[in-house]
Amino acid sequence: MTDRKRTKLYLHLKKWLEKAAIDYDMIQEGDKVLVGVSGGFDSLALLDLLNTSMIFLPSFSIMAVNIDPGFDETHGDYDTLKNYFEGNGYDYVMEKTDIGIRTHSDWAKKNPCFLCSRLRRKRIVEIAEKHGCNKIVFAHHKDDIIETLLLNIFYAREISTMMPNQSLFNGKFHIIRPFAYIREDLIKKYAKEKNFPVIENRCPTAKVSKRKYIKDILDELEKDNKNVRENIFRSMSHVKLDYLLTSGYKKSNAHEYEQDEPFRFVEKG
């Protein structure tokens, strides 16, 4: 791991990354951490920051993984990322797949993000197992956590979001999200500062997904009150169960409101 130029932004991100890691007990001595890198600004920033000396965290090793969804027929993106990994001395696994095409076929295109994230995550867990990695790190940030809460309320009929530290298979693996306290705009700023070779998201769903819709609603609300996102985030730590419905919604009365089966949003769409 190497030290970087200590800009104010770098120090800020490091402080909040380590704080989230400590608060949620994300890293233990000797962990082998597999970092999901799509090539977006957030995952490149995460990989870069995890590859620096930590002040409060024990030592761990990292490996990058990229699951190419197959939208870029020229494979230029794949080569860009490969060169970046090699140029910076990262251990990495890259895999070309047709997940993007399959999840946009007629039978799946109603909700491609659900299947896409499932398939990619399944493959990443298999790769973690093969390479002896016990932690899988995603670059989901504070904005993702806020949006996911609203997505799950609006479309999945439940109050839940992405967990900063989530156990899989009885603790065999953990999915961790060290950007849980960090806003998207700061990560974007850091990616610009570091001039990362950010890869464009070529997925046709990315610009019309429900997540994008929620993001636009939040932007609109923040024109009136710039604290809306922060308020939603903090509300997740102030849950007053006594002021929620506990007796349950009676299924027998539900038929007139029932639409399609709900699904949970966990991964980013």
Binding residues for ligand SF4, rule: CB under 6 A, are 69, 103, 112-113, 116-117, 203, 205-206, 209, 269
Q: What is the CA radius of gyration of the chain?
A: 19
Toward ligand SF4, which CB reaches closer, 51 or 201?
Answer: 201
Angle between helices 184-194 and 41-50 (to 10 degrees): 70
Toward ligand SF4, which CB reaches closer, 14 or 121?
Answer: 121
Toward ligand SF4, which CB reaches closer, 66 or 205?
Answer: 205
Distance of closest approach, residue 97 Cβ to ligand SF4, in angstroms: 11
Within the chain, where are the H helices?
A: 8-23, 41-50, 76-87, 99-102, 112-130, 142-156, 184-194, 210-222, 228-235
Distance of closest approach, residue 86 Cβ to ligand SF4, in angstroms: 24
Rounded to 5, what percent of the chain is helix, strand, coil?
40, 10, 45
- DSSP letter (8 states) at residue 252: G
Toward ligand SF4, which CB reaches closer, 117 or 134?
Answer: 117
Taking the CB of residue 201, how many other CB atoms lie within 10 A of it?
A: 15
Distance of closest approach, residue 80 Cβ to ligand SF4, in angstroms: 17
Cα separation, 135 vs 239, in Å, equals 29
Toward ligand SF4, which CB reaches closer, 26 or 145?
Answer: 145
Distance of closest approach, residue 163 Cβ to ligand SF4, in angstroms: 18
Distance of closest approach, residue 211 Cβ to ligand SF4, in angstroms: 8
